[in-house]
Copies of this chain bind each other. A is one copy, B any other.
Amino acid sequence: MADLKLPSRSEDFSEWYNQLVLRAELADYAPVRGCMIVRPYGWALWENITAQLDRRFKATGHVNAAFPLLIPQSFISKEQSHVAGFSPELAVVTHGGGEKLEEPLVIRPTSETIIGHAYAKWIQSYRDLPVLINQWNSVVRWELRTKLFLRTLEFFWQEGHTAHATYEEAEAETRQMLDIYTDFAMNEAAVPVIPGRKSSSERFAGADATYSIEAMMGDGKALQAGTSHNLGQNFAKAFEIRYLDQAGALQHCWTTSWGLSTRFIGAIIMVHGDDQGLILPPRLAPHQVVIVPIFKTDEEKALVFEAAKKIREQLVKADVRVKVDEREGQSPGFKFNDWEMRGVPLRMEIGPKDVAKGSVVLARRDRPGKEGKSFVSQEGIVESVQQLLIEIQKALFDRALAFREAHTFEPKNFDEFRQVVETGFARSFWCGDTKCEEQIKEATKATLRCIPIEQPGGSGPCIFCGQASKETAIFGKAY
């Protein structure tokens, strides 16, 4: 399918995205409306994402576990805001083993309730705290409008659930996980994100505070790319998660939850991609280097394949993810386009002349044409490749950051605000009143993405009502 041209990214961003996801074989539509199949190439990307996150979770003392998929329907109703938020989105199992169930079960839309139930049983004393558990799974929410990776009925994610003795510890955990998501996004995915606090109207159903990382997509719109919630004692009270403190008094725990999903793959596509297709950040790309052998005769083929194999072995040894494209019956040009579309950061070409000269051609995905090509000696090829991968990773981040900065505005008044949110983010003082937030949304369709952790200080007039305000917020149209 690599020979079909993608829709232009600048002209029809949405259709470019939809077709690219299918053609690059990242995902496909499932027979059930709104569900997705993550194909091997997309799943390999997700596996690299999970490995990098999991490493960070474990380094901060978290362990993984698995809680059941099926939750008694009554559980969802135990926390007041939680039921209001999730009950319209539930998938309900009414029959099992050929019989009608006494109590319907729901497929988890998220696991605070069933995990709360377990924690109530497991936690007795302050000695049992903190409990720091994460799980990798899928959840189901009955969404009406769906788009591959960004919003599907079933999606894949991790959900962390922790319990603590004090508010302070829970808040520190919530912020620590926000930091981990920020670090992951910046340093692994090359996606610059803004970590911040959600306004009360955008909080998770059942949280006292929700933090998120927000990223700007290539069309100037915002994507919430990970969230971390301080759940206060809301779930602890609903599920009786209690502990005996050191003085022997019974206390409710303080809990948190935090999640990052396959949605992030959507962010990677929409932040880095171009008209030719995906551009994957080297640290997460399933193949960091693809070697395309170039030959005409069988003799040349043998020569070139031997050289390719040797280089491949050296790269594998150095933990570089490399693939030799050995497909028969496809021209090098076809292969170039195909791997370009699939976003492999670095292409290596080897022909008979290169073999003779002991060199190879390296072509950077992020710099099309001659500018991104270099002739490199086969001596020290591992170092050359590793160096280029680091450069590409940095270049992707720098470009995405420059784009975001060029599309982030500080409008002087609400008329300017209206205009700038059509193409990017507005950063404006906001009074904190939900009514202002609602009216801004009604007038512009832009939502309050977050109140960034980093604040300019000082004060200024609320962009909508003019009241003196201490914090700025990021507004934008969102996915």
Contacts and interface: CB of A to CB of B under 8 A. Distances in A.
A94 B104 CA distance: 10
Copies of this chain, tallied across the complex? 2
Interface stretch (A63-71, A340-348, A354-362, A402-410): A63-71
B121 A67 contact: no
A127 B330 CA distance: 11
Nearest to A134: B40
Interface string A101-143: 0001101000000100110011000010000010001101010
Interface in A138-153: 138, 140, 142, 144, 153
A447 B253 CA distance: 51
B98 A68 contact: no
Contact of A67 (B30, B44, B68, B71): B30
A246 to B, nearest CB: 11
B121 A28 contact: yes
Interface stretch (A84-92, A222-230, A433-441, A457-465): A84-92
A154 interface: yes
A181 B71 CA distance: 33
A118 B40 contact: no
B63 A105 contact: no
A93 to B, nearest CB: 5
Given A65-B37, A69-B154, A133-B40, A142 B96 contact: yes
A69 B121 contact: no
A70 B142 contact: no
Contacts of A47: 64
Contacts of A31: 71-72, 75, 114, 117
B65 A40 contact: yes
A153 B96 CA distance: 10
Contacts of A154: 68-70
A43 interface: yes
Interface string A154-180: 101000000000000000000000000
Give the most central of A70, A137, A144: most B CB within 10 Å.
Answer: A70
Contact of A28 (B35, B44, B118): B118
Contacts of A329: 127
A353 interface: no
A367 interface: no
Nearest to A32: B70
A7 to B, nearest CB: 22
Give the most central of A44, A90, A107: most B CB within 10 Å.
Answer: A107
* Interface residues of A, dominant DSSP: mixed
A456 interface: no
A263 to B, nearest CB: 14
Interface in A235-258: none
B35 A68 contact: yes
A428 B80 CA distance: 63
Given A28-B121, A31-B117, A65 B38 contact: yes
A99 to B, nearest CB: 9
A255 to B, nearest CB: 17
Given A65-B39, A67-B37, A153-B70, A96 B105 contact: no
Interface of A: 28, 30-32, 35-40, 42-44, 46-47, 63-72, 75, 87-98, 104-105, 107, 114, 117-118, 121-122, 127, 133, 137-138, 140, 142, 144, 153-154, 156, 329
29 contacts: A30-B67, A30-B68, A31-B114, A32-B105, A35-B70, A37-B66, A37-B68, A40-B64, A40-B133, A43-B64, A43-B65, A43-B66, A46-B66, A66-B156, A69-B140, A69-B154, A70-B91, A70-B154, A90-B95, A90-B97, A91-B97, A92-B95, A92-B96, A93-B93, A95-B104, A96-B153, A97-B144, A98-B142, A127-B329
